Amino acid sequence: MLFVRKILLVAFIRDMRRNAGLAIVLAVSSASFSQATIQHARVELLAGQASVKPGSDLQLGVHFILEKGWHIYWINPGDSGQPPSFEWQLPPKFTAGEVQWPRPERLQPSKELVDFGYSDEVLLPLTMHVPSTVGNTRQLEFGVQVKWLVCREVCIPEHANLHLTLPVSSAERADHQHAQLFANTDKLIPKSLPRAWNASVTSAKNDFVLTILAGGKPITQAEFFPRDSAQIDNAAPQKFQQTSHGAKIALKKSDLLVKPITVLRGVLVIAGGPPYRIEAPVRQPIQ
Partner 1 sequence: MNHRQPFILWACALLALIASAFAVKVGEPAPGFTAVDSNGKQERLSDYKGKFIVLEWHNQGCPYTRKHYESGNMQRLQKEWTAKGVVWLTVISSAPGTQGFVTPTQENDYLKTMNAAPTAVLMDPGGSLGRLYAAKTTPHMFIVDPGGTLIYNGAIDDHPTSDQRDIAKSKNYVSAALEQALGGKPVTEAATRPYGCSVKYKD
The CA distance from 243 to 247, in Å, is: 5
The CA distance from 72 to 63, in Å, is: 12
The residue from 44, 115, 175, 207 that contacts partner 1 (CB under 8 A) is 115
The CA distance from 208 to 202, in Å, is: 6
Contact 179, 48 (CB under 8 A): yes
The CA distance from 118 to 70, in Å, is: 9
Q: Which residues contact 177 (CB under 8 A, 6 or more apart)?
A: 31, 32, 33
Which stretch in 76-84, 91-99, 212-220, 272-280 sits in contact with partner 1 by CB under 8 A?
76-84
Q: Judged by CB, which is closer to partner 1: 110, or 287?
A: 110
Q: Tell me how many helices (H) and strands (E) the chain has.
A: 1, 20
Q: Are strands 197-203 and 275-283 parallel, antiparallel or unpaired?
A: parallel
* Sites for partner 1 among residues 5-34 (CB under 8 A): 16-17
Minimum CB separation of residue 107 from partner 1 in Å reads 10
Q: Judged by CB, which is closer to partner 1: 11, or 128?
A: 11
Contact pattern from residue 226 through residue 265 relative to partner 1, giving x for each residue in contact according to CB under 8 A and a dash for the rest: ---xx------------------------xxxx-------
* 111 makes contact with partner 1 (CB under 8 A): yes
* Sites for partner 1 among residues 142-171 (CB under 8 A): 149, 151, 153-157
Q: Contact residues for partner 1 (CB under 8 A)?
A: 16-17, 79-82, 109-113, 115, 149, 151, 153-157, 206, 229-230, 255-258
